[in-house]
């Protein structure tokens, strides 16, 4: 079980598509490379969720973490902000 992030690189938003059969909700967190949590929320399992990037996020590399009762997965997210 994993999850898909798209578009990646992202500018303003991205989608999370959890590849899970779990009906239960999932927790997601956006972290910077120092491990600071920039955003977190709960999303429904088995559903594509549209996530708006937090204000103040600059271009760079971040980590998106998805967590359920049984697993934790992380993927890199590239943010490219257009000026």
Give pTM, 2 decimals: 0.90
Average pLDDT over residues 5-27: 89
Per-residue confidence (pLDDT) for residue 83, from 0 to 100:
62
Residue 1 has pLDDT above 80, yes or no: no
The three-state secondary structure class of 34 is coil
Per-residue confidence (pLDDT) for residue 37, from 0 to 100:
97
Six-digit token pair at 53? 């990037």
Helix intervals (H) in the chain: none
The more confidently predicted of residues 81 and 1 is 81
């Amino acid at each position: 079980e994993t999850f898909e992030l798209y578009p990646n690189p992202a500018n303003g938003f991205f989608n999370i598509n959890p590849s899970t059969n779990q009906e239960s909700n999932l927790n997601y967190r956006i972290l910077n490379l120092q491990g600071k949590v920039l955003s977190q929320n709960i999303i429904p399992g088995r559903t594509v969720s549209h996530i708006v990037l937090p204000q103040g996020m600059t271009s760079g590399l971040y980590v998106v973490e998805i967590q359920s009762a049984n697993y934790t997965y992380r993927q890199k997210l590239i943010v490219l902000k257009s000026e």
